[in-house]
Structure formats: structure tokens, C-alpha cells
Amino acid sequence: MALVSRPETGALRIVVLGYIVRCPIGGMAWHHLQYVMGLAAMGHEVVFLEDSGDDEWACYNPERGISGPDPAYGLRFAHDTFSRIGLGNRWAYHDAIESDWYGPAADRIFKLCETADLIINLSGSNPLRPWVTVIPIRVYIDTDPVFTQLRHLTDDARLQHAREHTAFFSFGENFARQGCSIPDDGLPWHPTRQPIVLDAWPVTTGPPAGSFTTVMQWDNTLQNVPREYGGQSYGRKAESFGSYLNLPRLTESKLELALGGGNAPRDKLRKNGWSLRNPLVIAQNPWTYQKYIQDSKGEFSVAKEGYVVSRSGWFSERSAAYLASGRPVVVQDTGFSTWLDCGEGVVVFDSLEGAVTGLRDIEKRYETHCQRARMLAENYFDSHKVLSRLLEEALSYGAQ
């Protein structure tokens, strides 16, 4: 397959599809930005493109706590965010409801797509409009393994959308490996993980008296995604958390949740010793989110039950950011211990006793765990390594 790359530099023209305008939240923004920033740092010509889709309730406004058709808040968020990272002219937004275009790259987006080498559709979150389907290599990044496959198996329209892509990558790094039971939707998934732009996540000194924190949604109910399939239950974080409700009573570590979800049992959590914060304040923008991580001693987090029971191998993009900042993480094992060097920096648990032991070890050897955390980020999540492999494999698969 002939590509329209710039042969004199080896650079590619890449369109990243994501959802920053529709979901203007600091943590989610970082998840997308690191693809754009990482590719740009590698010398590729990259532009971020977002499509509202055909849902009139697609745009979330965190100030008002509502969703609707108006992208004004998200457009301001995107403008400020891309300007701050030095890529202020590298984004565009298509409002399909009003047939309008916004953003500094809007007036040249059709030309960019006509000459692009590939797209990267994060979470498959954008429809592939005609100006996108002309791009020869179309990469689908599955960031929600198990639940992505369940959608495809139970919603033919979602499966057909996925099949419009030419290369398929999943954060479920154990897919099709022995011991992994991610439901098979028939697509050829290949492993990938969150890239971290290490220069954007400098190491800072961890506060020895600080809290172990995380940012989480109690029960992110997904429409048209079953909680059971083939006789197996695939729960969310609410189902995983129950065994650890009284963890603060069993450890000297301070534990804090930036907790979202209207049905979260906040009174019960507080009574058991958890400190609670408003995640919309924490993640007001990418830099308040980053500061929250830097002000933390480390992370403690459970994973969605579906990730755990399937042994998916998923590892959180948020946890990777803690590691890059030099913060150790105590996290529930989803099977990632098969590919990630754990024990220092990343401490895994699969029981309440294991969580207590992990926190105790970090308290005793905090500096060692902090140093190891950054080393793991450099070894496993460096954007240059992750994205180089992704591009090489995507071009190879797409050309077949």
C-alpha cells in the first residue's frame, strides 16, 4: 500500500480521533493528549480531530453537571489545553448536529485527511465520516477491554463501526493468551498500552506524610453493555471495591478517593476511614489533575471487576501517570503482572491482606519504591517506545 508520507524525513501525517471537547475532564484529556504530544515529539505531523457524533446529548458540561448539544464549554477547554501544550493550531471539532466546524485546523481538515497516512481512533469514539474513510490505515484503540468486546457481541452497529478500521489494538494485553477470557468478538486485537510523554510528567518529591489517592467512577453504567455474558459476570469498580471497604481500618496509610458517581456509598466510605474529594474539582483541567497526582504519596486503586475476572492484562493510564511522576502504585492485578515487572514501584494485590501488605511495604521503603516507579514508566510507558511500536505494527497490519 502506497502511503503519502514525507519521505525526506520519514514523518507521517496522522489524525488522532478522540473526545476532549465532549468530555472536558483533566484526566481524560491527558489520556488523549499524550498521543498527540508523543507523535508530535517524534516529528510526525499530527492533528487532533473530534466529531460530536449524532447524539444531541454528547457534550458534557462539568460546571453545570449536565450533558447536551452545546459544545461551548468543551471548545474553550480544548482551546486552552492545546494552546498550553504548544499545539494550539492542531485541532478541529465537527458538530454534526449543527453541521458546523470549530477549531484552528477546521479550514484545512479535509485536505489533511486527503493526504494523511493513518488515523488513530481512541476508544473507537468517533464515527468514520467520508473525509476520514479516505485515509488508508485506520487504527482502533480499545481502551476498555472486555466491555468493548461485549458491545460488539451484543450491538451489531458497534461491531460494523469497528470493522471499518484496518488495525486493532487493545489495552487488554493478554487477549487470546492462555488464562485470559476476554470474549472473542472476531477482531484481530494486538496489545498496546497508554503512552506517557515523560517530559510532560517530571519527577517530583513525594510527600512522605501524604495520602494514597486515586480518581475513580463508582459505577460507570454503560448503555447496551451486559453485565453478564456466557454465564460470566463482568462488573465495574463498585463490584470490585466491596472487599476493600474497611481497608483504612487495617493500615496506617491515609487513603483518599476522588470519587464520582451518584450512587456511591459515600457515608459508608467515610465511616470506614476513606477521605473523599470531588473529582470534578481535582480534574478541572489537565494541570489540576496532574498536581493532584504530584501531591499524592502514591496510588491505591481497584480495577473494574470485568478486567480482573477476565485476566485481561489491562493497566490504567492514570496509574502510568503516577509512575511517571515517581509515585508508587498499589493496584489490583488484572493479569498485567504477566508482562509488567511488579514488586517495587508497582505493588499488586488480589485480596484485602495483599493490599495491607503492599501499603505497609511502600511505607517502609518509600524512596526505593518512588525511584522504581519512574524506572518502570521509562521502561514500559515511554511514549516514544509505545507509539513507535504501534505505528510499525499498524502500518504492517494495514498493508496486508
Please give the DSSP secondary-structure letter assigned to residue 399. T
Q: Counting beta carbons within 10 angstroms of the beta carbon of residue 289, is it exposed (0 to 12), middle (13 to 18) or buried (19 or more)? A: buried
- 189 near 170, Cβ under 8 Å? yes
**pTM for the whole structure:** 0.95
* Integer Cα distance of 305 and 236 in angstroms: 5
Please say if the pLDDT value at position 103 is more than 60.
yes
Which of 203, 189, 178, 65 has the alpha carbon at shortest distance from 139?
189
Mean local confidence (pLDDT), 364-390: 98
**What does 111-165 look like in DSSP terms, one character per residue?**
HHHHT-SEEEEETT-S---HHHHTSSEEEEEESSTTHHHHHHHH-HHHHHHHTT-
Structural domains of the chain sorted by starting position, each given as residue range(s) with its CATH number in brackets: 13-197+382-398 (3.40.50), 198-380 (3.40.50.2000)
Task: State the pLDDT at residue 220.
Answer: 67
Which strand (E) or helix (H) includes residue 14?
A: strand 13-17
Q: List, in sequence order, every residue forming a beta bridge with 332; answer none if it has no partner.
A: 349
Q: So what's the pLDDT on residue 7?
A: 42
136 and 118 in contact (C-beta within 8 Å)?
yes
Residue 3: φ, ψ to 5°: -105, 160
Residue 245: all three cell numbers together: 471497604
Amino acid 189 reads W
Count of Cβ atoms closer than 10 Å to residue 155 Cβ: 14
Q: What is the pLDDT of residues 108-153, one digit of tens each?
A: 999 999 999 999 999 999 999 999 999 999 999 999 999 999 999 9
Q: What's the pLDDT at 3?
A: 40
Give residue-wise pLDDT tens across range 2-15. Answer: 344 444 458 999 99
To the nearest whole percent, how much of the chain has pLDDT over 90? 91
pLDDT digits 0-9 by tens, 266-298: 999 999 999 999 999 999 999 999 999 999 999
Give the per-residue pLDDT at 237.
94
pLDDT in tens, 25-63: 999 999 999 999 999 999 999 999 999 999 889 999 999
Each residue of 212-268: pLDDT tens digit?
Answer: 999 999 986 555 576 788 888 899 999 999 999 999 999 999 999 999 988 999 999
Give yes or no for a contact between 109 and 49, defined as CB atoms under 8 angstroms apart. yes
329-332 and 346-349 as β-strands: parallel, antiparallel, unpaired?
parallel
The three three-digit cell numbers of residue 77, written as one number: 477547554
Q: What is the pLDDT of residue 222?
A: 53
What band does 1 get if pLDDT is binned at 50, 70 and 90? very low
**Whole-number pLDDT of residue 241:** 96
Tell me whether strands 298-301 and 329-332 are parallel, antiparallel or unpaired: parallel
pLDDT band at 200 (very low <50, low <70, confident <90, very high): very high
- For residues 215 and 258, the answer to whether their CB atoms sit within 8 Å is yes
Please report which confidence band the pLDDT of residue 399 belongs to, taking 50, 70 and 90 as the band edges: low
CA atoms of 117 and 9, how far apart (whole Å): 14
